Structure 1
Amino acid sequence: MTKLEKYEGFLDSLPDSILFHILSFLPTRDAVWTSILSPRWRYLFTSSIFEFDFRDCLGHSPVPKEHINNFKKFVDRLFFNPKHLRLESFRVNNKGVNDSLSNDFLTLYNWLCAALWHGVKEIDVNYFNRDLPVLPTLLFTCPSLVTLKLYICGWEMKLPTNVCLPNLKTLHLWGIELLDGCLFLSLISGCPVLEDLGLSNCFLDGTTELNIYSLLLKILVLDLKTWVNYRDSIDFDCVFVIDAPSLVHFQYACLAGKQYTLRNMERLEKADIELFHFDDADCEQSATLLQRGICNNPCEDRTVSVTWIVEFLHCAPNLKTFTLDLADADRVFESPLEEVPSCLLYHLKEISILSFMGDTHMFEIVSYFLNHVLVLEKLKSECRSSIIEKLSSLPKNSKKCEIEFL
C-alpha cells in the first residue's frame, strides 16, 4: 500500500465531525475541491463552510460562457440540495465577468434569497450593473442579518414598505442613488441596533434632506468625493439632520450642504471633515454651518470667522484623534480664539497634518497645536523632506509628543 493510499484510508476513517472541523479552515474554493474525492466527500464541505466567498472564483479575465454556466449550476446545487448548510456570510463580485453573468439578475436574486433563507449573517454584494431592477424584499426584512454591504454602482435604491432588520449592526452602501431622503430615513429607522453606517460615492441628486437618527450608531462615514467630481454644478442644497448620541467617529467628505443639524455629539472622539469646491466666501460660510450644526447652538458668544477649526474643536470636548488637511490653510485658520478648546488640554492625543507645504502660515498652525495640546502623544505630518528639520525643532508643551513623518 502506497503512502497516498494510507493517507486516504486514514482520512476516510475519520468521523464526519472531525472532517467538518478540518474543512472549516480552508478557503471556499479549496474546500469545494474536496467534493471530487469520492461520493462521501461530494457535499461534505457544505456542513463545514460558514462563508461562501465567490468574489474571485471566476477571476478577472474573460471567462468562457460554459465555465460561467457550470459555476452557476454548482452554486445552485450548493444552495438548494444540501440539508445541513450552515451559512454565516455570502459574498459575490461580478466585476470583470462577462455579460452572461453580469446581466443575469435572476441568478443573483435567487442566490440572495437562498442565503437569506439559510439564516446568513453577512451579505457583501459587488454588482457592477446599474440596471439591476430590484433586490429581494427579504434582504431588508431578514432577522438574521448583522452586516449588509451593497456596492451597486448607479443603482436607484428601492425598498419595501416596512424595513425591518432587527439585528443589523453594519450597513455600507457604495455607488447607490439616494434620490429620496424619506426612503433612506425608513431604512435607518428599520435598523434599531445599527452601529456602523457608511455612504461612499453615493449619488444624492434630488435629495433635499438626509435624516440619520440612530441611538446606537458609533461610526458614520459620508464620503461622497466621487459624486462631487461627476457633478456639472457645485450647487448643493441638501440639509443634513443627524442625531446620534453614541457617535464616536464621524467622517464627512462632500460639498458644503445648505444646513447642518448635528445633535448629541458629546461622545465624539474622531472627526474627519473635508469640504470641496468653494470660493473664499463659501468656505467660511460652509465651515461655519458645519460647526454650528455640531454645536447645535448657533454662535452664542463666539465670534465665527475663518478660525472655524478652533471653533470646531470647541464642539468636540472629548476628541482624541484629529486629521487636518492644510491644502487651503489660509482659508481656514487666521487668529485663533483666546480660549483654548478643552479637548486640546485634556484629551487630544494624535494629530495628522496633511498637505504641509512649509510656508509661514502653516508653521503657525502647527505651532498652535504643539503649544496648546498638553497630552499630545503623536503628531503625524505629510511634508517635504526639506522642512522636516525645521518642523522637528518646533517647541512642544507635551513631553510625550513624538513627530512622525508620512
Structure 2
Amino acid sequence: MCVEDNFKLPPTLFTSKTLVVLNLVSGIVLKVPASVWLPSLKVLDLDSIEREKEDTFESLFRGCPALEELYIERWTLDTNWVLNISIPTFKRLILICPEDHFRGGSDGQGCKVVINTPKLEQLDLLDYVSDDSVLENSSSSLKAVVDIGHTHSITETNNYGSHIHKLFSGIKNVKFLDATLSFPTEDDTPVLPTLHNLTHLTLTADHESGWNFLTDFLECSPRLEVLTLKGNGQLGSAKCWSPPQRVPNCLLLHLEEIKIKKFNGEENDFEAMEYLLKNAKFLKKMTIDCRQSNVNEEFCIWKKLIGIPRGSKTSLLNLIF
C-alpha cells in the first residue's frame, strides 16, 4: 500500500489480518493508534515518514509479530533524535540517514540509533547523521553493508572514533562485511574490536585515510579469506603506509584472494601491494585493476608489480589493463 501527500491513514489499516507488505512514503505524519495488530505483515517500508512521537515506530513494530524486512529512510527534518528498532523476528534492515539530515537539538543532543534484532541476517546502514549507533544481540551469520561518514556538522560531543568502535562491537560476529569509512583525524581513529568470524571484507576508503584502514582491518580479522579494496578516487594516501608491527594471522594462515580496484600506482600503493604479496602465505590469487589513460603508465605499473616477490609459491597475479 502506498500513501501520498495529505493522505489520512484509515484506522482499519492497523488491524489488517491479511496485509503482508506495507509501503508508506513521504507526505504524512505517522500517528499510530493504541491498538495495532498486523499478524501477517512481513515487509515494511517507511520512506521519509514524519513521526508524531519519538516512540511512534516502536509502537508500530510491537504490533507486527511476523515482520522480517524493514526499510527506513529518516525524514530529513526529523527532530525525534533517538530511533529504536527492537524486533525479535527481524531478518533484514535497510536504514538510511542522509547527510542533509537536520541534526542536533537546542540542548546539543545528537541523533542515536539503537538496534536490537537477535535474528538479523542482513544489515544495510548508510548513516551520515548519528552520533551513536548501538547494535545488540546481533546474529553470528550477519552480512553487513556499512557506510559511516563524518562530513556532516558534528556536535561538540560527537566522537567519530568512539562511534565506529561501538558500531563494530555490535556486529563483531559479522561474516561478510562491506565497509565505507572515513577517519577525520589520527587522534580520532577508532580501535576496532576483533572480528573473529569475518571471512569476506570489502573496504572502501577515502584519499585522506587511504591504506591506514587496511592495517586496522588486517589486525582485527584473524580468519579473513577474501579481501576487496576500493578507493574513492584513489587508494593511496598523503599519509605513509604503516604496515602492522607483526604479520597478522589472516596473512599467515587464511587469506586466499585479494581484489584491488582503482589502482593508481602511487608509492604507497606499491608498498601495500608488496607487503600483501610477501606475507600472504596461502594466497591463491590477486587481481589488480591497473587501467590508466596512459599506456606508458600501465607498462610502468606492470613492470613494478611483476617484480614483487611473493610469499605464496602458488599465487596468481592477475593484472587488468
TM-score when normalising by structure 1: 0.52
Aligned match of 1:138: 12
Q: Which residue does 2:319 correspond to in 1?
A: none
Aligned AA (1:374): H
Match among 125, 134, 159 for residue 261 of structure 1: 134
The alpha carbon displacement at 1:161 in A equals 1.9
CA contact (8 A) 1:146 1:167 kept: yes
8 Å CA contact retained: 2:235, 2:264: no
Q: 2:66 aligns with which of 171, 193, 202?
A: 193
Distance in 2 (alpha carbons) for counterparts of 1:355 and 1:201: 25
Report the equivalent of 1:318: 197
Alignment-derived partner of residue 223 in structure 2: 346
Deviation at 1:136, TM superposition (A): 2.2
CA distance in 1, matches of 2:158, 2:6: 40
- Structure 1, unmatched stretches of 5+, are 1-122, 297-303
- Say yes or no: does 1:330 pair with 2:209: yes
Deviation at 1:174, TM superposition (A): 1.2
Q: Which moved more, 1:228-237 or 1:347-356?
A: 228-237
Contact 2:207/2:233 (8 A) holds in 1:
no
Report the more deviating stretch, 230-239 or 165-174. Answer: 230-239
Residues 294 and 334 of structure 1: CA distance in aligned 2, closer, same or farther (over 3 Å): closer
Counterpart of 1:264, as a letter, is N
Contact 1:326 1:362 in 2 (8 A): no
Displacement of 1:195 in angstroms is 1.9
Partner AA of 2:100 in structure 1: N
1:162 to 28, 32, 35: 35
Structure 1 residues 271 and 319: alpha-carbon distance in aligned structure 2, compared to 1, 3 A threshold: farther
Q: Indicate the residue corresponding to 1:229 in structure 2.
A: 100
For the structure 1 residues 311 and 247, does the alpha-carbon distance in structure 2 shift closer, same or farther, using more than 3 Å as the test? same
Distance in structure 2 (CA, Å) of the matches to 1:291 and 1:188: 28
Does the C-alpha gap of structure 1 residues 208 and 241 become closer, same or farther in structure 2, counting only changes over 3 Å? same
Instruction: Choose 1 or 2 for highest CA Rg.
Output: 1
Paired AA for residue 287 in structure 2: I
d(CA) in 2 for partners of 1:262 and 1:252?
A: 11
Which of 295, 298, 310 is the equivalent residue of 2:169? 295
1:198 Cα deviation after fit: 1.2
Q: In structure 2, how many angstroms separate the alpha carbons of the residues matched to 1:372 and 1:283? A: 40
Contact 1:271 1:323 in 2 (8 A): no
Deviation at 1:351, TM superposition (A): 3.3
**For 1:321 and 1:339, how far apart are their aligned partners in 2?**
12
Alignment check: 8 A CA contact 1:266 1:318 kept: no
Q: How many residues align?
A: 264
CA distance in 1 between partners of 2:81 and 2:35 (Å): 22
Q: Secondary structure at the match of 1:330?
A: coil
Measured in 2, the distance between the counterparts of 1:160 and 1:338 equals 46
Query: Which is richer in strand?
Result: 2
Residue of structure 1 equivalent to 2:88: 215
Q: Identity across aligned pairs (percent)?
A: 21
The amino acid that maps onto 1:243 is N
What secondary structure is seen at the aligned counterpart in 1 of 2:12?
helix
- Cα distance, 1:180 vs structure 2: 2.2
Measure the CA separation in 2 of the matches of 1:144 and 1:378: 48
Return the letter of the residue paired with 2:206.
Answer: A
Q: After superposition, what is the alpha-carbon deviation per residue over 1:48-101, rounded to whole angstroms, capped at 9, x for unaligned? A: xxxxxxxxxxxxxxxxxxxxxxxxxxxxxxxxxxxxxxxxxxxxxxxxxxxxxx
Q: Which amino acid aligns with 1:136?
A: P
For residues 354 and 180 of structure 1, do their structure 2 counterparts lie closer, same or farther at Cα, with a shift above 3 Å needed? farther
Structure 2 stretches of 5 or more lacking a match? Answer: 171-185, 292-321
Distance 1:237 1:174 in 2: 21
Q: Distance in 1 between matches of 2:209 and 2:35?
A: 49
Aligned residue for 2:312?
Answer: none
What CA deviation, in whole Å up to 9, does each residue of 1:237-259 have, x standing for no partner?
Answer: 22322111122222222234343
Aligned residue number for residue 403 of structure 1: 287
- In structure 2, the CA distance between the partners of 1:168 and 1:363, relative to structure 1 (3 Å rule), is farther
For the 8 Å contact 1:249–1:269, the answer to whether it is kept is yes
* Residues 171/177 of structure 1: CA separation in 2 closer, same or farther (3 Å cut): same
Q: After superposition, what is the alpha-carbon deviation per residue over 1:279-322, rounded to whole angstroms, capped at 9, x for unaligned?
A: 799798124134225536xxxxxxx96442x605x2x4333444
Identify which of 41, 47, 54 aligns with 1:174.
Answer: 47
Let me know the Cα RMSD of the aligned residues: 4.3
